[in-house]
Structure 1
Amino acid sequence: MTAPGGFAPPVVATAGSADPAAPLVVLLHGRGSHEREILTLAGRLPAGPAYAAVRAPIAEGGGYAWFANRGIGRPVATSLRATTDWFRGWLDAVAPAGRPVVLIGFSGGAAFAGGLLLDDPARYAGAAILSGTLPFDAGVPTTAGRLTGVPVLVAQGEHDTVIPRELLDRTWDYLAGESGATVTARRDPVGHTIAPAALDAVAGWLGARLA
Structure 2
Amino acid sequence: MKHIYEAGSDPAAPVLLLLHGTGGTERDLLGIAQYIDSSASILSVRGNVLENGMPRFFRRIAEGVFDIEDLKFRTAELNEFIDQAAEQYGFDRKRVVAIGYSNGANIAASLLFHYQDALMGASLHHPMVPLRDIALPDLNSAQVFMAAGKNDPICPPQESEELRELLEGAGASVELLWENSGHQLTRSEVEAAKKWYEASFKQ
Amino acid at match of 1:32: G
Quote the residue 1:136 is aligned against: 131
Superposition deviation, residue 196 in structure 1: 1.6
Superposition deviation, residue 187 in structure 1: 0.3
The yes-or-no answer on 1:171 pairing with 2:163 is: yes
TM-score by length of 1: 0.82
Q: 1:117 aligns with which of 104, 108, 112?
A: 112
Superposition deviation, residue 191 in structure 1: 0.8
Quote the residue 1:45 is aligned against: 36
Distance 2:85 2:10 in 1: 11
- Secondary structure in structure 2 of the residue aligned to 1:161: coil
Quote the residue 2:153 is aligned against: 161
Contact 2:147 2:189 in 1 (8 A): yes
What RMSD, in angstroms, separates the aligned Cα atoms of the two structures?
2.4
Quote the residue 1:127 is aligned against: 122
The yes-or-no answer on 1:26 pairing with 2:26 is: no
- Secondary structure in structure 2 of the residue aligned to 1:135: coil
Superposition deviation, residue 69 in structure 1: 1.2
Superposition deviation, residue 21 in structure 1: 7.4
Q: 1:127 to 1:142 in 2, by over 3 A?
A: farther
Which ranges of structure 2 fall in alignment gaps of 5 or more residues? none
The yes-or-no answer on 1:203 pairing with 2:198 is: no
Q: 1:185 to 1:178 in 2, by over 3 A?
A: same
Amino acid at match of 1:61: N
Quote the residue 2:66 is aligned against: 75
Superposition deviation, residue 165 in structure 1: 4.1
- Secondary structure in structure 2 of the residue aligned to 1:122: coil
Q: Percent identity?
A: 26
Name the stretch that deviates more: 91-100 or 198-207: 91-100
Amino acid at match of 1:47: S
Amino acid at match of 1:35: E
Name the stretch that deviates more: 56-65 or 16-25: 16-25
Quote the residue 1:3 is aligned against: none
Contact 2:11 2:40 in 1 (8 A): no
Deviation track 1:12-71 (CA, whole Å, cap 9, x = no partner) reads 124461778752110101122221122231232112211121000011233201111133
Contact 1:12 1:55 in 2 (8 A): yes
Distance 1:98 1:14 in 2: 14
TM-score by length of 2: 0.85
Quote the residue 1:61 is aligned against: 52
Amino acid at match of 1:75: F
Amino acid at match of 2:27: R
Structure 1 runs of 4+ with >6 Å offset: 18-21
Contact 1:15 1:39 in 2 (8 A): no
Which ranges of structure 1 fall in alignment gaps of 5 or more residues? 1-9
